[in-house]
Every structure is written in structure tokens, then in C-alpha cells.
Structure 1
């Protein structure tokens, strides 16, 4: 099991942005595909307090339920990128 869990919805352009960064950094991660219906997204709501995606959890660095694709990409670059 990877330290990073990535909650995404297939076809979501914001999720694709995060997935691309995870792959560019060659990071191992687990993916949880959330249901299309927001009222069925109980798992992502439990970890992040909201039903939107993308969301990541990074157990290695104590990140629980980070949302917003731009924030996630910046965090991944800062934490795992070339300057880390």
C-alpha cells in the first residue's frame, strides 16, 4: 500500500492535472475512484470534509484530505520534486 491515496473521478480535468503530476514525479499512489453522484461520495467526504475531487492523503507527511488541484500539485512539487 502506497503512502499517497488519490481520490478522483474519471474524466475530471482537475483530477487529470494531479494524476499527471503524480506520474511525472514517479510517485507510487493508490487510487480511489469516487462515484459520479456527489451524495454517494461518503469515503472522500470522510477524509476531506467535502465531496469534491481531487483529494489526496499523504500518510508519510501527515496530509489528510488535501483538496484543490493547484494546491495538491504545488504540494507534490515542493515535497517530492527536484528541489525537495
Structure 2
């Protein structure tokens, strides 16, 4: 199991931006695909306090429920580049 968990919705352009950065940095991560319905996104809501995606957690660095694709990409670059 990887330290990074990535919550995403297939077809989401913001999620694709984060996935591209994860792959560009050759990071190992687990993916959890969230349901289309926001009402059914209980797992990502528990982690981040909201139902939007993308969201990441990074156990190695104590990051729980980071949202917003730009913030995630910046974090990944600063931490792993």
C-alpha cells in the first residue's frame, strides 16, 4: 500500500491534472474512484470534509484530505520534485 491515496472521478479534468503530476514524478499511489453523486461520496467527505475531488492524503508527511488541484500539484512539486 502506497503512502499517497488519490481520490478521483474519471473524466474530471482537475483530477487528470493531479494524476499527470503524480505520474510525472513517478510516485507510487493508490487510487479511489468516487461515485458521480456527491451524496454518495462519504469516504472522501470523511477524509477531507467536502465531497469535491481531487483529494489526496499522504501518510508519510501527515497530509490528510488536501483538496484543490493547484494546491495538490504545488505540494507534490515542493515535496517530491
Instruction: Name the TM-score class by shorter chain.
Output: over 0.9
Displacement, 1:42?
0.2
Aligned residues: 81
Please, which runs of 5 or more residues in structure 1 have no aligned partner? none
Q: Map of 1:1-84 to 2, 5 A cutoff?
A: 1-81=1-81
In the superposition, the TM-score normalised over structure 1's length comes to 0.96
Displacement, 1:68?
0.1
Q: Please give the alpha-carbon distance, in whole angstroms, between the structure 2 residues aligned to 1:73 and 1:28.
A: 15
Q: Please give the alpha-carbon distance, in whole angstroms, between the structure 1 residues aligned to 2:70 and 2:12.
A: 14
List 4+ stretches of structure 1 deviating above 4 A. none
Q: Deviations over 1:11-56 (max 9, x none)?
A: 0000000000000000000000000000000000000000000000
Q: Please give the alpha-carbon distance, in whole angstroms, between the structure 2 residues aligned to 1:38 and 1:10.
A: 14
Q: CA RMSD in A?
A: 0.1
Please, which runs of 5 or more residues in structure 2 have no aligned partner? none
In the superposition, the TM-score normalised over structure 2's length comes to 1.00
Q: Please give the alpha-carbon distance, in whole angstroms, between the structure 1 residues aligned to 2:57 and 2:69.
A: 13
